[in-house]
Structure 1
Amino acid sequence: MPSQDTAAATSPDAAISAAPDDVVKRLLIDGQLVTAERTFPSINPATGEIFGYAPDASVEQAEQAILAARRAFDTTDWSTNVAFRQRCLEQLYQALRDDVEELRELTITEVGATVVLTKGNQLEIPIEIVRYYADLLKTYSFTEDLGVVDVRGTKHHRWLEKEAGGVVAAIAAYNYPHQLALAKLAPALAAGCTVVLKGAPDTPLSTLALGEIIARTDIPAGVVNVLGGTEIAVGELLTTHPAVDAVTFTGSTPVGRKIMAAASDTLKRVFLELGGKSAAVVLDDADFQQAAQFVGFSIVTHAGQGCALTSRMLVPRQHHDEIVELVKANFGMVRYGDPHNPKTYMGPLISEKQRDKVDGLVQRAVAEGATLAFGGEKVEPGFFYQPTLLANVHPDSEIAQEEVFGPVLAVIPFDDDDDAVAIANNSQYGLSGGVFSGDQERAKAVARRIRTGTFSINGGNYFSADVPFGGFKQSGIGRESGIAGMEEFLEIKALAEVAQNV
């Protein structure tokens, strides 16, 4: 039980020190919107200035949230009442649509997302994930009949029942906070699980805003709990607490390894969506202009802060310089700056720390022999970094192997299709990729040889609520979205009875 002091600190009346114009959000714990003893600032990455404050959830509050989720799963009919879950998801979808403009403003300011991105993968497309799972519950069968078999002269009827997996700890990264939160939350709720959702310290208000919206719906107390904060111990509790049955995490591969190790003591189910170093392969019969435009503008989307972006561009050796010039021309057209400006294509990196990391990787790449063909400089105010093009990159170099998470494209030459496939697969990651060719069958043949969880052929878009998303190798375990995304949160129970009247 929480102490009296802790209980007082989590009351709705607890004060947050903030200026009148600051954005302030609260935690959602057991159906109540609460604050905390401490707060921490949220920074506008386009200016470097504080614009709001978030409650810094304590370990005690995380414990309260976990126990609330456990109680809601064990003592209510949430896990078995499919019709009620379907109605609640529809209600949540409508509430998100009703608040979309407020969420848009918050996302632009806190995440550094551009206006056009909020109309796509940063906000409006993630909201549609909720509707997808609400609709899926209308048709999805949680049972599967396996028929009758004869065992030693007796008829036995067998069937499967798919049950909710239990309490889910969902931990999201900063780059697409609504997408990452809703891609975990919606399928888990559809499956009948209860959830403790923790947002990233860099974008806490965006995730906490979802909690405030959920508090207005009929989703029962404890079914969804939303935390924010900087305490490492809170994340450790979520991944080790015996009342948590499953952990779903999006973030870096090193942190994913630690989470998997921490969860092993209690054998929790773990779903990981981790890093990527995806390759776009441009074959010698491709439309080079199309490929340069697609890959060039893709890598600067959200300043390159996307795990599935193709950050390696593999090109025929004899056409290397030609394609570099085409990408260069496209980079020169990228408008970056204030993400509130509808004409801005690229916003800032999330923090000075992240920008320093990106710049360090670029500078080391040049020192190791890569050619800086474009960009490579910090831009201020805010945490902007120029679209950066590195040519003549060696496939084993740091810049070709490490995830940059910035607007940096490494161009790597190859000799033939086999060489291109080998270079693409020369990575610890296997999240996504792409191929460009004038011959669709040749492109498909290459695509099938590259070991990734998603793949684009000549610019094909796989990203949708009904398409499973995840990676091979050290890019992750499990899938988000689609039917597979919900089934990650289900346990399968096999039952048999002696058949009657057969």
Structure 2
Amino acid sequence: MASLVERMLIDGELVAAGSGRTFDNVNPATEEVLGAVPDADAADVERAIGAARRAFDTTDWSTNVELRRRCLVQLRDALRADVETLRSLVVAETGSPVMFTAGIQLEGPISFIDHYIGLLDGYEFERKLPTKDLMGMQVDRVIRREAAGVVAAITPWNYPFYLNLCKVTAALAAGCTVVLKPAPDTPWSALALGAIAAEHTDIPPGVLNVVTPSDNAVAGLLTSHPDVDAVTLTGSTATGRKVMAAAAGTIKRVTLELGGKSAAVLLDDADLQTLIPAMAGGVCVHAGQGCAALTRLLVPRARLDEAVALAAGAMEHVPWGDPTDPATIMGPVVNARQRDGILRYYESAARDGRIVVGGKPTDRFERGYFVEPTLITDIDPKATVAQEEIFGPALVVLPYDDDDDALRIADSTIFGLSSAVFSADLDRAMAMARRFRAGTVGVNGAAWFDVESPFGGYKQSGLGREWGTEGLEDFLEVKTIAYPAAG
């Protein structure tokens, strides 16, 4: 494993930090130091940006579609060949239960590379408009989509391998060059990606760079540097605001996938007995560290007590603990800061409402950043824990009076990432789905998460989309060329 994660990738070379400094990568389940990580300084980041700029400006990467496709195939195959090493790495640094590495945490995103490989087989980077008389001349026009340039990809710690691949493969497929900066809590998922790309693909030097600064001020260079053309960030809404402000000085393209406070609305004809246990358990997956988790459960006021009892029964039996245990669905949160922040939300919930399950620091384990699955009710929809993203295993159950009231409560936060609605009447559920101010909506449990489905949010949940054709086009500029029509 060490050979995959001990060096950054800059200009085609696997290198230590120029200063020689390192920082520790810590296992959140045991608090043990996993290893040393190169601590990039400003000079390292400048070198990575310069390499990406040169690669974009002086090679044919941006125009050679067949090269890009071949390199993505090589990357996919190399990742698959090293999947067991990567599995251990991901579980160790994220604390994610190992069961999820068969899906979104590892094997899923490796297979998702096929989406962009497939798009490159037939995507129309240039199309011709019909001949037209414009200002007394017969003209033809070509609409071109061209790579945006140098992309800074900034990723968080909750699903790091997935998000690294999501951003890097889209930008590379579009013909951009990339500087990837992972969260300091989960650097190995990015360093391994860089090492595998360097050793097993024909990606030219400078096209993909991976830097691991521990200092946010150093990382901030990526959002303001004049040689960076676009920034793609997944993170909190607060971080998104800072990135957007920093990028404004040079009018960079910005793609932001930010926070959420997603609501699941169970209409008065929904089957609570079946639905609520699954939803209560679902909010605990990976300790609730997911931006699109359905963390608010809206139920008819007359059925509030029934709903709370069902949710409590499910949350009391969630298997949580050691992430290497195949039966575990909830491991630790990523670090002590995150754990302490969640506990402060639990304290707020106890003041403003009623905690039915959990809500306390846990002494279940001697080490590790664990928190309890927590169920909250009897709380105002405008209370802090019903409005802000906790990013922990907490479910807030809220009553509503009618369909319009449910919609009002669901849309009452600054977020608009995801929503869900359940009803025995599909037409009724679809009517509500069309009214949500959210980027994704699940109806009666149908999944929207797929490489062909664009993902992103409304309001302060972000800008732009990932996956789908839209995920490619977020890294493409549009150019119109007009010329005199022949004869």
Q: Normalised by the size of structure 2, how large is the TM-score?
A: 0.97
Instruction: Read off the aligned partner of 1:476 and give its amino acid letter.
Output: G
Corresponding position of 2:6: 25
Contact 2:116/2:170 (8 A) holds in 1: yes
Letter in 1 for 2:251: L
- What whole-Å deviation, never above 9, does each CA across 1:17-75 have from its counterpart, x for those lacking one? xxx99995210000000112111111111111111221111110000000000000000
Aligned partner of 2:419 in structure 1 is: 433
**Alignment match of 2:67 (pick from 84, 97, 110):** 84
In structure 2, what is the equivalent of residue 227 of structure 1?
211
**2:485 is the alignment partner of 1:499:** yes
Among 286, 296, 303, the alignment partner of 1:319 is 303
SS for the counterpart of 1:483 is: helix
Describe how 1:377-396 pairs up with structure 2 within 5 A.
377-379=360-362, 380=365, 381-396=367-382
The partner residue of 1:254 within 222, 238, 260 is: 238
- Letter of the 1:205 partner, please give it: W
1:166-187 CA-partner distances (Å, limit 9, x unpaired) = 0000000100001111111111
| 1:269 matched residue in structure 2 | 253
User: Which of 109, 118, 122 is the aligned partner of 2:101?
Assistant: 118
Q: 1:242-267: per-residue Cα shift (whole Å, max 9, x none)?
A: 10000001111111101111111111
**Which residue, 305, 309, 318 being the options, matches 1:334?**
318
2:160 matched to 1:160?
A: no
Q: 1:52 aligned to 2:52?
A: no
2:316 & 2:94 partners in 1: Cα distance? 24
Paired residue type of 2:196: I
Q: Which ranges in structure 2 are unaligned for 5 or more consecutive residues? A: none
Paired residue type of 1:79: S
1:143 touches 1:162 (CA, 8 Å); kept in 2? yes
**1:291, distance to aligned residue in structure 2 (A):** 2.0
1:285 maps to what in 2?
A: 269
1:240 to 2:221 alignment: no
Deviation at 1:115, TM superposition (A): 1.4
- Residue 5 of structure 2 contacts residue 195 of structure 2 at CA under 8 Å; is this kept in 1? no
1:372 aligns with 2:355: yes
Q: Are 2:176 and 1:193 equivalent residues in the alignment?
A: yes
Q: Comparing 473-482 with 224-233, which one deviates more in the overlay?
A: 224-233
How far is 1:152 from its partner? Answer: 5.0
1:158-214 per-position Cα deviation (integer Å, ceiling 9, x unaligned): 120110000000000100001111111111000000000000011111211111111
- Three-state SS of the structure 1 residue aligned to 2:171 is helix
Q: 2-side partners of 1:373 and 1:492: how far apart?
A: 53
Q: Tell me how far apart the structure 2 counterparts of residues 495 and 361 of structure 1 sit (CA, whole Å).
A: 55
Letter in 1 for 2:130: G
Deviations 1:138-173 (A, max 9, x none): 011101221100235532111201100000000001
**Which runs of structure 2 are paired with 1:343-354 in the superposition (5 Å)?**
343-354=327-338
Secondary structure of residue in 2 paired with 1:442: helix
Match of 1:9 in 2: none
Q: Is the 8 A contact 1:263 1:270 kept in 2?
A: yes
Distance verdict in 2 for CA 1:386–1:319, change over 3 Å? same
CA contact (8 A) 1:46 1:382 kept: yes
TM-score by length of 1: 0.94
Counterpart secondary structure, 2:68: helix
Comparing 354-363 and 293-302, the one that deviates more? 293-302
Measure the CA separation in 2 of the matches of 1:360 and 1:151.
64
Number of aligned residue pairs: give it.
481
Q: Decide which of 132, 145, 156 is 1:149's aligned counterpart.
A: 132
* CA displacement 1:211-264 (0-9 Å, x = unmatched): 111111110100000011212222211001110000001111111101111111
Shift of 1:111: 0.3
Distance change (3 Å), C-alpha of 1:23 and 1:162: closer
Percent pairwise identity: 53
1:408 equivalenced with 2:389 (yes/no): no
Whole-angstrom distance in 2 between the partners of 1:473 and 1:153: 44
Aligned to 1:11: none
Does structure 2 conserve the Cα–Cα contact (< 8 Å) formed by 1:89 and 1:130? yes
8 Å CA contact 1:79–1:191 kept in 2: the answer is: yes
Q: Secondary structure at the match of 1:315?
A: strand
What is the DSSP-based 3-state SS (H/G/I as helix, E as strand, rest coil) of the residue aligned with 1:180? helix
Conserved? CA contact 2:150–2:229, under 8 Å: yes
| Cα separation, 2, equivalents of 1:185 and 1:321 | 47
